[in-house]
């Protein structure tokens, strides 16, 4: 199956995405964008799949696990790892194999190591990146965007005194 694969993340000016397992900002507009992008399908009979590492899974509040309206796949090296309501895969290839004919699009939702591995893939379709126009204290970072991907501005906004942009990076011609 040939599914579209997108990374989706929010990052500060220095590509910071997290600190001590948490997102260092609270932007309702970004959360709304994330939810809409990862749930909405063109085909009403299909759903999207989200792939995340076990640390990202554990950082989600329990009441939001699994992410509703999406097939959840958690990457874990520990063969005994359990993620209630999600499928556990022990490699990227096994995670991608979970995208059957009922899945429309695959979204990679974190964390840093998972983003890094998928950013190198030839079959990566694009990157949805919310760029926050400020620097935060972070210990997890979004990888360098491959030079073949060019940004397109979707929208610019401000919330809680923070300016941010929704960008879609696609392969340039």
User: Mind listing the pLDDT tens digit for each residue in 21-39?
Assistant: 899 999 999 999 999 999 9
Cα(74)–Cα(88) distance, integer angstroms: 5
Q: What is the mean pLDDT of the chain?
A: 96
- State pTM to two decimals: 0.96
What is the span of the domain harbouring residue 99? 4-171
Residue 161, pLDDT score: 93
Question: What is the structure's pLDDT at 80?
Answer: 96
CB 137 within 8 A of CB 19: yes
Residue 32 phi/psi, 5-degree rounding, is: -65, -45
Cβ count near 71 (within 10 Å): 20
Instruction: State residue 2's pLDDT score.
Output: 84
| H-helix segments, 26-159 | 28-39, 54-59, 92-97, 112-119
User: What is the pLDDT at residue 1?
Assistant: 65
CATH of the domain at 69: 3.40.430.10
Q: Burial level of 6, CB count in 10 A (0-12/13-18/19+)?
A: buried
Domain count, the chain: 1
Give the pLDDT band of residue 75 (cuts 50, 70, 90): very high
Kindly indicate the confidence band of residue 172, based on its pLDDT and cuts at 50, 70 and 90: confident
pLDDT category, 134, cuts 50, 70, 90? very high
Work out whether the CA dihedral 77, 75, 127, 25 comes out positive or negative. negative
């Amino acid at each position: 199956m040939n599914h579209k694969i997108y990374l989706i993340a929010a990052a500060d000016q220095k590509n910071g995405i997290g600190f001590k397992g948490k997102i260092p900002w609270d932007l309702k507009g970004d959360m709304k964008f994330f939810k809409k992008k990862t749930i909405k399908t063109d085909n009403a009979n299909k759903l999207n799949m989200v792939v995340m590492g076990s640390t990202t899974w554990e950082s989600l509040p329990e009441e939001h696990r699994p992410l509703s309206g999406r097939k959840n796949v958690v990457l874990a090296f520990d063969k005994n790892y359990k993620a209630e309501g999600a499928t556990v895969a022990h490699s990227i290839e096994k995670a991608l194999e979970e995208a059957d004919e009922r899945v429309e699009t695959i979204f990679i939702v974190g964390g840093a190591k998972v983003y890094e591995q998928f950013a190198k893939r030839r079959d990566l379709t694009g990157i949805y990146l919310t760029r926050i126009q400020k620097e935060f204290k972070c210990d997890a970072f979004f990888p360098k965007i491959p030079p073949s991907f060019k940004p397109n501005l979707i929208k610019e906004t401000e919330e809680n005194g923070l300016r941010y942009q929704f960008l879609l990076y696609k392969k340039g011609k």
